[in-house]
Structures are given as structure tokens and as C-alpha cells.
Amino acid sequence: MNPELFLKNLAQHGYQLSEKQKKQFETYYQELVTVNERVNLTRIVDRDEVYAKHFYDSVTPLLTFSDLFKGDKTLCDVGAGAGFPSLPMKILQPDLRITIIDSLGKRLKFLEELIAKLDLSNVTLVHARAEDAGQDQHLREKFDLTTARAVARMSVLSEYCLPLVKKGGYMVALKGPKAQDELKDATKALKVLGGRVDKVEELTLPDSDDERTLIIINKVMPTPKKYPRQAGTPNRKPL
């Protein structure tokens, strides 16, 4: 998906990008591949693949569930790595207030410099493990939305993300193809943590065979105080 096709597909969903937004995506690409030479951010560096598998993939929740993101929403991106999916979302919808949580300082340094070069406001970076962030009273149950992409399987991801979502908010998981089995395995975790499956949407990235699954979890009850457990425990002993 070259940049022109990227813009065309966004336009089909009602997003007509300004010159500033187009330049932001191009600057994002240039910074990603430049810094990736010394910091491991991504294995994908081809321009067309970055626009398809990073930029377009990241904004599929906005295109598919636009109502979730309308208004003055706060969004916490857990384990964002090189800024996916939250920063492409932020470029597309500038009124989103973003908090990015990541445990690796080198990635956060890249994001700090990138955010400045993209001239993005209302983006906060937090250096922490997701489990520690979920017990931080400044972050716990403070967000309308959480997002996560390529971080962990659903049973583990739910314990990372749901403690950060306020009651009535949503967890948005960007998964690969055929994620139903993974979701089934997370049934207990979702119930314990206060989540309920709201929507599951399977899609294919434009002009490709790359399948994706978007899973929307509604936070229907507060998360019990004992969750998330100590750092590393959710991954070792999933609920």
C-alpha cells in the first residue's frame, strides 16, 4: 500500500487528510526507519509495508468503530513500542488525549523525539511495566479507552489493559487472524477483571491477504484491587 493508496482508502472511510497530516505520516516513516538502524523498533521498513502493516493497521479501529473514539476521549496505549496503534490514530484524530505506557527507555526516547517532530499535543509517555501502571492510582481506571497491538494473548492482555479502563469504557485489542480461540481462552480473565465482549470484527487489510481481528471489550464492572498482579505474573500464570 503506497502512500497514495493509503490516502485513498482513508478517504473511502471519510477521512480526507490535510497536508499537515500527510506530512506527519511521511515524517513518521522517515524517523522510524532512521532510528530503527540503531534501536530495534520494527522488522518492517519498506515504505509500502509500513503504510499498510503499521499505519493503516493501526487506524482500523477508528475506521471500523468510529463512534467509540468520538468526543474528548482519553486513550491509553499499552506496550506501544514504536507508537502503534495510538500515534497513527492521534494523527488521524488530533483531539484524542493519548497516554503511552512502555517498559523500554530506548523506545520511549524515540517516541519523545518523534512526538516533537510530528508536533503532537496531549501525548503523555509513561515508563513502566503494564502491571505496575495498572496499580498506579494516577492511571488506574482513568481512561475511556485502552489499546494494544501485538503485545500478548487475550488472557494476559486483559490483565494489562482492563485495570486502566474506567467503568463504562472499552479495551480495544488489535489481533491477527482467527482470534476466536484466543478470546475463548480469555473468558475467565475477562469475567474476573470486569470485562465483557462487546464486538468482534474480522477484516482484511486493503489490497492484501493480511487478516486482522478487532476485539472490543466493555468494562462493565470495576477491576478487583488485587489485579493486575505483580509484574511478570500475568504472563506466567494467566487467569
State the cell numbers at 95: 483531539
C-alpha to C-alpha distance for 33 and 35, rounded to whole angstroms: 6
State the cell numbers at 11: 478517504
Where on the phi/psi map is residue 205: left (φ > 0), alpha (ψ -120 to 50), or beta? beta
- Which segments of 32-71 are extended strands (E)? none
C-alpha to C-alpha distance for 180 and 178, rounded to whole angstroms: 6
- Closest by Cα among 90, 89, 99, 91 to 26: 91
Cα dihedral across residues 177, 178, 184, 185: positive or negative: negative
- Closest by Cα among 67, 237, 85, 81 to 146: 85
State the cell numbers at 70: 468520538
Q: Helix and strand tally (H, E) in the chain? A: 11, 7
Which residues make up each annotated binding site for S-adenosyl-L-methionine?
79, 84, 130-131, 149
C-alpha to C-alpha distance for 47 and 109, rounded to whole angstroms: 23
Which residues make up each annotated binding site?
79, 84, 130-131, 149
DSSP 69: G
Decide: 115 and 88 in contact? Cβ < 8 Å.
no
